[in-house]
Structure 1
Amino acid sequence: MHINSDINRGLSRQLPWLLLAALVMLWAPRSWALSVFACEPEYASLARELAPEADIFSATTALQDPHQVQARPSLIAKMRRADLAVCAGAELEVGWLPMLQMKANNPRIRNGQPGMFYAADQVETLDKMDNVDRTMGDVHAQGNPHMQFSPERVTAIATALAKRMAELDPDNGTRYQANLADFLGRWQAAVPQWQAKAQPLEGHKVIAYHTSFRYLFDWVGISQVGDLEPKPGLPPTTSHLATLLKRAEQGDVMAVVYTGYQDSRGAQWLAQRADLPLVELPFGPGVDGIADLFDLYDHAIDALVAAQREPR
C-alpha cells in the first residue's frame, strides 16, 4: 500500500512537467512541418534537399510516363493532405493533375495559391510555341517541361522552391535557406566536373525518343537530328523508322537514345539495323541505384560518354 501511494505521489508531481514537455514538442518549430506532394521524382528529390525531414511523396517514378498518370484514390488522398504541391508545369501534367486537384478539394494547392508550385514558372523554358493545334501531336506551347537536366534551371528552381517553403512554413524559414545554401554549394561544385566529363560529347548527333533529353543535349552540345516519334506522343511507325534508318546511314549519328518508360522496340530496331549504340538514359532519381539529382547526372553523362567511345 505505501509503495503504491509513493508511486502515485511521484506521478502526480511529474505530471505537470510531462504535460509541459509534450506541449513544447507540439509547438516547437519542426523541419518536417510541410507535407509535400511532388508530381515527379526529380522534384521529390529536390524537395528532400531543402526539407530532408518533411513528409514528401512522389506521384510518379522515373519508369512512368509523367504525361499519363491515373488519378488513383491513393494519389487523391496524398494531395488532399498536402501543404505544397511541386510539379514541372508547362502542361506536362495537364492530362491528370487538374483531376487530382478537383477530387482532392484541397484549397491550399489550387492553381494560383502559394501551395501550388510549378517549376516551369520559375525559369525560361526551351521550345516555346506561339501557336499549337492537335495536328502537331502532344506538344507543349509553354515549352519543354523536362527541365531536370538543366543545371542552371535546377539552381533557379531550387532557390524559388526554398523561398516558397519558407513562406508556407516561416518558423522553419532559416532551415530551408540553410539547406538551400548547402545544396547549391554542392551543386555548383559538381557542375564543372560534369562539364569536364561531358566535353567529348560536344558536336555529336543522336536520334532520340521524344524530346525527353532536350535540356541535357542542349547543355552538353549534342544535336538531336531525329525523333523516334513521328509526332510527339505517337509511337514509331514502320515508315518513320525507315526514314530514320536512312538518316542514320549518313554515318554521323553517335547513338539511339531512349528512357525507361518508353517502348524500346523501335529504338532497338533502329540501333540494330543502323549498327549504332543503344543508350537507355535514366530520367529521374529513385531507380537503378540513382538516389538523387547528383546520381542522375552522373549516370546520364557516363552512359552517353560510353556510347561515344564505343567503336563503330
Structure 2
Amino acid sequence: MVCRNLLIALVLLVSAWPVQAQLRIFACEPEWAALVRELVPNARITTATSYLQDPHYIEARPSLIAAVRAADLAVCTGASLEAGWLPVLLQRASNPAIQAGRPGLFFAADHARLHASHEHVDRSMGDVHPEGNPHVHLAPDEVPEIVQALAQRLAGIAPEAAPGVHGRYLRWRAGWNRLRTEWRARAQALEGASVVVQHTGFSYLLEWLGVRVIADLEPKPGLPPSASHLSELLAVPELAGANAILIASHQNPRPAYWLAEQTGLAVITVPGTVTDNPETASLEGLISAIISRIELTVAGAAHGSL
C-alpha cells in the first residue's frame, strides 16, 4: 500500500511539472540551424538553404512561408545576406513575433565585428554589403559571441528552457575554445600560404589562419567569373606563388578548373556551410575539415573536394 501511494505521489508530482513546448525555429542558413541544435537539441528546425545553394538567392517558397508563420524564432545572418528573399518571407508569413526589431528575429551579424563595411554602395560595385562581409560563421573569434547572444535570446523566448540552454552553451563554448587553440597551432604552418578564391565566403577564416587571398575569380562580388576576367588573372604576379584555388561546393567549378589548367594550381572544393555529412555536420567539423584540406594542398596534395 505504501509503495502504491508513493507511485501515485510521484505521478502527480511529474504531471505538475511544466511541460516544455517544443520550440519551432526557422534558420536561414545551415550553420545557424546547427548551432541552435547545440543549444536546444529537441527544437523543430526548418532550414531555408543547404550547402549546395547560394544563400543570396533563394525562392520564397510556400513551405518556407508556412515555416516562418509557425516559428517562435527566426535565426538568420543579416548584414543584407538574405535581403533578396527574407523580407518577402516575413511579409507573407505575417508572424508578428518575427519582424524587424522584435525578439523573434535574430541576426547573427548584429553580434559580430564585420570586416569590409562600406559607407557608400551602388550597383557598380557588384553584390557588396554596406554592413560588411556577412559570412561571419567562419570567423573563429566571432562565433562564440554570436552563440552567447543566441543562447540569451533562446532563454528569453523560452524561460522554462533557460537552465538547459545555459548549460549546453557553456559546454559548447568550452569545446569551441579547445578547438580554436588547436586551429591556431595548425595555422602556424599555413601562415604565408596564398589562394585564389571565388567570392568572400572564406575570407574570415583565411585571414584568421594567415592565408592570403591574392585574386578572386569574380570580377566584382556576386558577378560570375567572365572569360576576360579569368584571362586577366593570368597576369597577376602573385599567381605564380599561390598554393591553390579555393571554391565552395555550391559554386560552378568550371572557372576554377580552367584557371587550374593554365597554372597548375590545385583546386580545393569545400562546403561553405555545414552539411549532412558527419564530418562537416557541425560548424566545428566544417572549420576543421577546411583547415585539413588547405594543409594537405599546401603540403603538395592534388585536386580534391569534400
Q: Fold match, TM over 0.5?
A: yes
Structure of higher CA gyration radius: 1
| Superposed counterparts of 1:172-191, under 5 Å | 172-191=161-180
Mapped partners of 1:151, 1:232: distance in 2: 23
Contact 1:43 1:86 in 2 (8 A): yes
Deviations 1:88-131 (A, max 9, x none): 00000000000000111101110100000000001110111111
- The residue aligned with 2:204 is 215
- Structure 1: any 5+ residue segments left out of the alignment? 1-16
How many angstroms does 1:23 deviate by? 11
- The residue aligned with 1:133 is 122
**Which of 73, 77, 91 is matched with 1:102 structurally?**
91
For 2:232, give the aligned amino acid: T
- The residue aligned with 2:46 is 57
Mapped partners of 1:149, 1:251: distance in 2: 27
Deviations 1:151-209 (A, max 9, x none): 11110000000000111111111111111001001111111111222321111111100
**Which of 282, 291, 294 is matched with 1:292 structurally?**
282
Mapped partners of 1:265, 1:302: distance in 2: 23
Tell me, yes or no, if structure 1 residue 255 matches structure 2 residue 255: no
Tell me, yes or no, if structure 1 residue 307 matches structure 2 residue 293: no
- The residue aligned with 1:280 is 269
Runs of 4+ with deviation above 3 angstroms? 20-27
Determine what percentage of the aligned residue pairs are the same residue.
Answer: 43
Say if 1:26 and 1:121 are closer, same or farther in 2 by CA, change over 3 A: farther
How many angstroms does 1:53 deviate by? 1.0
- The residue aligned with 2:225 is 236
Tell me, yes or no, if structure 1 residue 80 matches structure 2 residue 69: yes
Mapped partners of 1:35, 1:23: distance in 2: 27
Mapped partners of 2:299, 2:277: distance in 1: 22
For 1:307, give the aligned amino acid: T
- The residue aligned with 1:4 is none
The RMSD of aligned alpha carbons is 2.2
**Which of 25, 35, 39 is matched with 1:36 structurally?**
25
Say if 1:81 and 1:142 are closer, same or farther in 2 by CA, change over 3 A: same
- The residue aligned with 1:198 is 187
1 or 2, which has the higher helix percentage?
Answer: 1
Say if 1:70 and 1:309 are closer, same or farther in 2 by CA, change over 3 A: same
How many angstroms does 1:246 deviate by? 2.1
How many angstroms does 1:29 deviate by? 4.0
SS at match of 2:275: coil
Contact 2:112 2:136 in 1 (8 A): no
Q: TM-score by structure 2 length? A: 0.91
Tell me, yes or no, if structure 1 residue 151 matches structure 2 residue 140: yes
Mapped partners of 1:222, 1:249: distance in 2: 13
Mapped partners of 2:300, 2:15: distance in 1: 58
Mapped partners of 1:26, 1:86: distance in 2: 32
Mapped partners of 1:199, 1:295: distance in 2: 20
Mapped partners of 1:23, 1:260: distance in 2: 52
Contact 2:214 2:239 in 1 (8 A): no
How many angstroms does 1:282 deviate by? 1.8
Contact 1:282 1:299 in 2 (8 A): no
**Which of 158, 173, 189 is matched with 1:169 structurally?**
158
SS at match of 1:108: coil
Mapped partners of 2:235, 2:15: distance in 1: 68
Mapped partners of 1:106, 1:24: distance in 2: 33
- The residue aligned with 2:258 is 269
SS at match of 1:266: helix
SS at match of 1:48: helix
Mapped partners of 2:162, 2:31: distance in 1: 22
Contact 2:117 2:131 in 1 (8 A): yes
Say if 1:310 and 1:22 are closer, same or farther in 2 by CA, change over 3 A: farther
- Structure 2: any 5+ residue segments left out of the alignment? 1-6
Say if 1:293 and 1:311 are closer, same or farther in 2 by CA, change over 3 A: closer
Mapped partners of 1:267, 1:248: distance in 2: 18
SS at match of 1:107: coil
Mapped partners of 1:126, 1:156: distance in 2: 15
Q: How many residues align?
A: 295
